[in-house]
Amino acid sequence: MSGASGHALALQGVSRRYGEFVAVRDATVEVARGEFLTLLGPSGSGKTTILMMIAGFVEPSAGRILLDGRDITPLPPERRDFGMVFQGYALFPHMSVAENVAFPLRVRRMGRAERDAKVRAALDLVQLDRFAERRPSQLSGGQQQRVALARALVFDPALLLLDEPLSALDKKLRAELQEELKALHRRVGRTFINVTHDQEEALSLSDRIAILDHGRLVQVGSPEALYERPATRFVADFLGKSNFLEGDVVPDAGGVVLRRGATAVVASGAAPPGRAVLSLRPERIALVPEGGEADNLVEGRIAAWSYLGTGYALTVSTADLGDLRVHLPAWGAPFAPAEGVPVRLGWSRAAAVAVAEDVAA
């Protein structure tokens, strides 16, 4: 199993309508060999519909799905040769763990000796070799999830599709299995397509993320690119938290200036003159001591605060920019926060980026 064994998938203008309702609108995306792509979006954004169209359970109303350049749109699910981990795992309750994992090999009429060897290897891969004879109902959620993974990988599928694979697990186990899933992806070198609504999971697992909103693919890119340079207000808001500064902008040397009342905010990047929205991440705002310098400086008062362990989350009221969310690291915080305390906020020119308003659905 190496990186070369992965397959490339492409969606070309894929749509799915249910009567008047458009679940997926003109989705075009390419998944490279061996890539880990996550479809991320809130519920009802169409991410699961896209996965079901890739798997073959839902027929696209328009568009094509290509595997290594070959059109697979008309193929039924059983002829696509994709491994799939279902939400809630969908293990066969009447079969043992080993029989579950052997199922895809059995329906492919593989010989017994080879089948047994593959099942053992797959169970080894997910560290469940000791549980081969158990029933799924006798396993914990995390173990069931691993059985589902072994079953989806045992027949060397062209792609592995994951439908909210971790959503049924508690938070701690989820973090653990996230790392395992990432390590597994590196080990087997296959193309993984994952669906989730959990932005942290998407950020930590994926090579690239495709963000969906109301059936539309809004932005596709690496986790860093999406977080640092969100294209729209929705992306900035859904991936992490953000302050949005709205106002009229004019071009400036190497960027734009946004004016709100007596305050001018400078930001890098380009935006056409006129109405614009800047996204400013809370953790990019710092407290500036008396006499300190920053590209942008704003006075305000702490309106609310909370301690998060890793840091403080402040809400700071300002005269021209309204309430700003600010995250400060707790360690080495220069002050003890309290409501009403005056603070000076500063951020660099590069901290804020212009984002587009969302297209109405």
Partner 1 sequence: MTPKGRHALGWWGLILPAFLLMTAFYVAPILQVLAISVTEPELGLQNYERLATSESVQRVILTTLRIGLITTAISLLLGYVLAFRIALADPRAQRWWLLAVLVPLWISVLVRAFAWVTLLRRQGLVNQGLMAAGAIEEPLALVWNEFGIVVGMVHYMVPYAVLPMLSAMKEIDPRVLAAARGLGAGRVVSFLRVFLPLSMPGVIAAGVLVFIFSLGFYITPAILGGGKTLMAAEWIKLQILDLIRWGLGAMMATVLVVAILATLAVFSRLVNLRRLFGAGGH
Q: Can you give the binding site for partner 1, defined by CB under 8 A?
A: 55-57, 76-78, 81-84, 86-88, 90-94, 103-104, 106-108, 151-152, 155, 161
- Residue 353 · residue 279 · CB < 8 Å: yes
Neighbours of 107 (CB within 10 A): 10
Q: Whose Cβ is closer to partner 1: residue 151's or residue 197's?
A: 151
Q: How do 62-67 and 70-71 pair as beta strands?
A: antiparallel
Cβ closest to partner 1, residue 1 vs residue 107: 107
**C-beta of 94 vs 130, nearer to partner 1:** 94
Q: Least Å distance between CB 77 and partner 1?
A: 4
Length of the chain: 361
Output 79 or 241, the one with its CB closest to partner 1. 79
* Tokens of residue 343, six digits: 């603070």
Q: Which residues contact 57 (CB under 8 A, 6 or more apart)?
A: 77
Provide, rounded to whole angstroms, the least separation between the CB of residue 267 and partner 1.
47
Those residues whose C-beta lies under 8 Å from the C-beta of residue 151, and which sit 6 or more positions away, are: 83, 91, 100, 101, 103, 104, 122
Least Å distance, CB 134 to partner 1, is 18
Pick 86 or 305: Cβ nearer partner 1: 86
> Least distance to partner 1 from the beta carbon of 1, Å?
19
Do 227 and 351 touch, CB atoms closer than 8 A?
A: no
Least spacing, CB of residue 15 vs partner 1, in Å: 22
Alpha-carbon dihedral angle through residues 110, 116, 120, 125, given to the nearest 10 degrees: 0
In the bound complex, what is the minimum distance in angstroms from residue 235's beta carbon to partner 1?
Answer: 30
Residue 74: CB minimum distance to partner 1, A? 15
What CA–CA distance (Å, rounded) separates 246 from 125?
51
Name the burial class of residue 262, with classes exposed (0-12), middle (13-18) and buried (19+) by CB atoms within 10 angstroms of its CB: exposed
- Closer residue to partner 1, CB minimum distance, 85 or 203: 85
Give min distance, CB of 86 to partner 1, in A. Answer: 5
Virtual torsion, Cα 107, 112, 114, 115, nearest 10 deg: 40
Strand 216-221 relative to strand 208-213, pairing: antiparallel
* Min separation Cβ 358 and partner 1, Å: 33
Tracing tokens 């296959």 back to the chain, one arrives at 190
251: phi then psi, degrees, rounded to nearest 5? -65, 150
Contact 181, 201 (CB under 8 A): no
Name which of 96 and 204 has its Cβ closer to partner 1.
96
**Closer CB to partner 1, 150 or 258, in the complex:** 150
The residue (of 93 and 340) whose beta carbon lies closer to partner 1 is 93
